[in-house]
Structure 1
Amino acid sequence: MTTGTAILAIDQGTTSSRALVFDLAGNVIATAQKELTQHYPADGWVEHDAEEIWDDTLAMCRQALAEASARGFTAVCIGITNQRETTIVWDRITGKPIHRAIVWQDRRTAPLCKALRDGGHESLFAERTGLLLDPYFSGTKIAWLLENVPGARAAAEAGELAFGTIDSFLLWRLTGGRHGTDATNASRSLLFNIHTQQWDDDLLALLDVPRALLPEVTDCAGALGETTLLGGTLPICGMAGDQQAATVGQACLHPGMIKSTYGTGCFALLNTGKQAIRSHNRLLTTVAYRLDGAVTYALEGSIFIAGAAIQWLRDGLGIIESSSESAVLARSLEDNEGVYMVPAFTGLGAPWWDPDARGLITGLTRNTGRAHMARAALEAACYQTHDLLTAMRADYPGTVAAIRVDGGMATNDWLLQFLSDIVGAPVERPRTTESTALGAALLAALGHGLISSREEVVSLWQRQARFEPVMDAGTRERMLDGWTRAVNRSLTNA
């Protein structure tokens, strides 16, 4: 049997924990996945069981590695990518979380964000972190845990607790106590100065978060730790938040390149190079990646609900049996017939940033059926992407390239053609849509020395399909006008 060198990528997402093994050409050799239980303890609250995440991640890694071994491949290093902003605080002695993980979608800290805005602090946070004051980010989640879990505040101040996003928690567990994170995940915390690349004492004071809680911040590639839990000793050599990992996996390594990932939510990142561009259109300025101490920045637009709307049609309403059925239903209609869905189940992200907005469906008639609902859910992801790109084009002085797409929804040809039509730009799908996990693997390959340069990463990217806009301008404007009216109805203060 032929043997080959491979890389294990841990992709811990919002709805599942996955492990994928890649060969050095970027091909998937083995994969294992387990769906993650979602907990909704109150309106707008979303939680995960961190122990379930750990158990599932470990099991999926072992399963994927066994499958790869049976095919003659041996993993020599690990890359980790994760759902960003999801917040865990755990005991440094026992390693046990003090509370369920608070998921990035969670809205419970909206009052704290409002109080900080009312106090005139948003400009300071925006200037130093590139972020807006929204419950989406980790910092206010940490503050909530310290105030609401009995004994947490005193334990944190005594240095007995550790904070981390999922990457950090997995690193701790895999290595037996290494407390670290990478610059991309740190940049989503409301506590990290993206210009100095340091935790910011002023922001820590505003959120009353003890510095002792925080992990060490590293590059996205390098020697991050080792684990002996998966057979032998495996070095962990790559780490990035899911959207930044997808940026690497899509080889968007030059300014002006843009990728948009369609999973639970939708996240578009535009590479702006060494320049951290301050958005005037309520986008985020974030770290795209940090390699060899050099930071590359991005503008990001975050949509909270994309594929989750299709999941809701399947699991919540029971009107489709599988996600793939949505494309068949959407294609069966000549037009949306005026039906729009605004999937603001947990508020609206960029460029509206309204945590109190809630979802709605407009234009219902007696003729409306499940095909209209499926089409409206798919169209919503495209309309929201249009709004993000409009903001990006206004903020970014350079030319924006074709959109490279990935994620579960990117296998849907109908969706990608409609996306191209609505945004008025080419849309490209890569040979593998596993861009997030691939990015983690490529970062690990860079950190381990299996790949020597970013140019090698670029050379591995291959296009599988390209979609060009064919919709006439009048139809596009009519459909966008209907979307704008629907969004305005969902906004809190519209």
Structure 2
Amino acid sequence: METYVMALDQGTTSSRAILFNRAGGIVSRAQRLFRQIYPQPGWVEHDPMEIWATERQSMAEAVDAAHIDPKCIAAIGITNQRETTVVWDARTGEPVYNAIVWQCRRTAPICDRLRADGLEETVTEKTGLLLDAYFSGTKLRWLLDTVPGLRRRAEAGELRCGTVDSWLIWNLTGGKVHVTDYSNASRTMLFNIHTLTWDADLCRALDIPVCLLPQPVPNCQEFGRVAENIPGLEALAGIPICGSAGDQPAALFGQACFAPGQAKNTYGTGCFTLMNVGNVPVRSKNGLVTSVGWSWKGKTTYALEGSVFNAGSAVQWLRDELGLIQSAPECDRLAGSVPDSGGVVVVPAFTGLGAPYWDMYARGTIVGLTRGTTRAHIARAVLESIAFQVTDLVRAMDEDAPCPITVLRVDGGASVSDIMMQIQADLLRIGVDRPDQVETTAFGAAAMAGLSAGVWSGMEELEGLRRSQCVFRPLRDEAACAADYARWRRAVDRSRNWIENEL
């Protein structure tokens, strides 16, 4: 009888469920979009109940589409948008406020105050992170300080909190299990990546009651089982939840980057470049962060990471806000209709700039417009902006890591763009390797769960499942690429100094 593993891929804009077979092939998948909530400029929220409902619906639809006996599903793995923070009632399971999304910048003033108090070095030393509104700790602090009665209820033990992995596991187990995996915990700014525990000093500095937090656990183990009587999931009751990781370490795992020095980039709503640095964390000197990749059989693998806040979301901006395109593929067609961007540079700093700049106050900028600029030039400039931001990350990584990246493995929705992958290879001057199986984030979660459940024997077997679909090599003149990159850096400076440059 065939054995399957289900991956729940809970992302920033949609909830998905994918069934994989032992060969790593996709048997079925389902996806549900959910709302993006923008209460104020720079604020981003999600409805936690909508996240749970859409994930539940996707699971049921994926099973129906596969036409299999649900008893053949050996395990469930979870991967999720990281840093997004949820607080809920421990008794009823009802959220007390919308989820504050990783993109949200509302806590920048809290970060400024903590920095003024001298906390930045402590945060970096213990957590591998930088003091930024991106991470969960200040989001939780804002909720406790702002929502009436929330701090009192938290201190009384009436509430639970967590990132989206914790929220899903809590609901899937019928409120019996409150955990988070090491990779998600390491993105909270409250977790010590050296001891693999919540850090009492940081919790105290951010005024976070430890009783509110989930138990940190390794990525590959049984966390609990699907509860009975979950609407729509009755047929899945009893299936073990055996793997969990944040979306980016899951993609690193799914890309079979099991050896130190191997790296991947995911082109999604944001861009995330991760490099396996082995069993000892590497501290960045160039604006990157260090977090847990995964923990398996008592060994913890760390990753050096750079994050771009706005990548695929820039294409969405062209479609939804500017109305220049009707669909994402149209951006590719427009970009391919012109030989270059005509000197236009777009810096999509809609919610600030991530690594290596970490500028919470930078804003989106377009420079180089002329009367001859067309929407095709702007579309190409948007694709170039994504590749430029990844180039920033890889250059920083090459300076931090003991060995340079020689091939970049790529995945995510926007990696299907041949134009952008070629631009990326030209800028980096290395091969860009796109796998045959682009659902590497979901497969990483499935692989972790399958390892724990015995579906796969080990990492060597998983590594053998990866196949390259195309490797893009540098083709464009190196001097021309260097000139484009220099123009990009000047445009970034404009986006960071927009307040000072106002008339």
What TM-score do the two structures reach when normalised by structure 2? 0.96
Q: Could you tell me which amino acid in structure 2 is paired with residue 81 of structure 1? A: T
Matched residues in 1 for 2:69 and 2:466: separation?
24
For residues 46-195 of structure 1, the aligned pairs below 5 Å read 46-69=44-67, 74-177=72-175, 178-195=177-194
Q: Does the alignment pair 1:11 with 2:9?
A: yes
Alignment-mate amino acid for residue 207 of structure 2: D
Describe the superposition over 1:301-329 as per-residue Cα deviations: whole angstroms up to 9, x where unpaired: 00000000001111111111110111111
Selected match of 2:470 from 465, 476, 482: 465
**For residue 450 of structure 1, what is the amino acid of its counterpart?**
V
Consecutive unaligned residues of structure 1, counting only runs of 5 or more, are none
The equivalent residue for 2:205 is 206
What displacement does 1:71 show? 9.3
Within the candidate set 356, 374, 378, 1:373 is matched to 378
Which SS does the other structure have where 2:157 is aligned? coil
**Secondary structure, counterpart of 1:236 in structure 2:** strand
What TM-score, normalized by structure 1, do the two folds share? 0.98
**Percent of aligned positions that are identical:** 51
CA contact (8 A) 2:347 2:366 kept: yes
Structure 1 runs, 4 residues or longer, greater than 6 Å off = none
2:39 maps to which residue?
A: 41
After TM superposition, give the deviation of residue 269 of structure 1 in Å.
0.1
Which letter maps to 1:216? Q
Asked if the contact 1:240/1:289 (under 8 Å) is kept, the reply is: yes
Give the C-alpha shift of residue 70 in structure 1: 5.0
Q: Distance in 2 between matches of 1:71 and 1:274?
A: 40
Instruction: Call closer, same or farther: CA 1:257–1:157 in 2, change over 3 Å.
Output: same
Q: Is the 8 A contact 1:4 1:72 kept in 2?
A: no
When structure 1 is superposed on structure 2, of 74-83 and 165-174 the one drifting more is 74-83
Residues 332-362 of structure 1, C-alpha deviation per residue, up to 9 Å, x if partnerless?
1112111010000000000000111110111
Q: Does 1:310 align with 2:315?
A: yes
Task: Say whether the 8 Å CA contact 1:4–1:73 is kept in structure 2.
Answer: no
State the alpha-carbon separation in 2 of the partners of residues 380 and 218 from structure 1.
37
Structure 2 residues not aligned, in runs of 5+: none
Q: Distance in 1 between matches of 2:481 and 2:42?
A: 33
* SS of corresponding position for 1:252: coil
5 Å-filtered alignment, 1:338-487, equals 338-487=343-492
CA contact (8 A) 2:6 2:19 kept: yes
Contact 2:182/2:295, CA 8 A, preserved across alignment: yes
Aligned length: 492
Contact 2:28 2:65 in 1 (8 A): yes
Q: Partners of 1:425 and 1:173 in 2: how far apart?
A: 44
Asked if 1 retains the 8 angstrom alpha-carbon contact of 2:340 and 2:380, the reply is no
Work out the CA distance in 1 between the residues paired with 2:278 and 2:66: 36
Looking at structure 1, the residues matched to 478 and 249 of structure 2 have their Cα atoms a distance apart, in angstroms, of 33
Residue aligned with 1:317, SS: coil
> What's the CA shift for 1:293?
2.3
Q: Is the 8 A contact 2:3 2:22 kept in 1?
A: yes
C-alpha separation in 2, matches of 1:398 and 1:484: 25
Selected match of 1:22 from 6, 20, 23:
20
- Residue in 2 aligned with 1:252? 257
Q: CA deviation at 1:401?
A: 3.2
395-404 vs 341-350, greater mean Cα deviation: 395-404
Root mean square deviation of aligned Cα: 1.2
User: Contact 2:344 / 2:367 at 8 angstroms: preserved in 1?
Assistant: yes
| Cα offset, 1:73, TM superposition | 9.0
Is the 8 Å Cα contact of residues 128 and 194 (structure 1) preserved in structure 2? yes
CA contact (8 A) 2:306 2:356 kept: yes
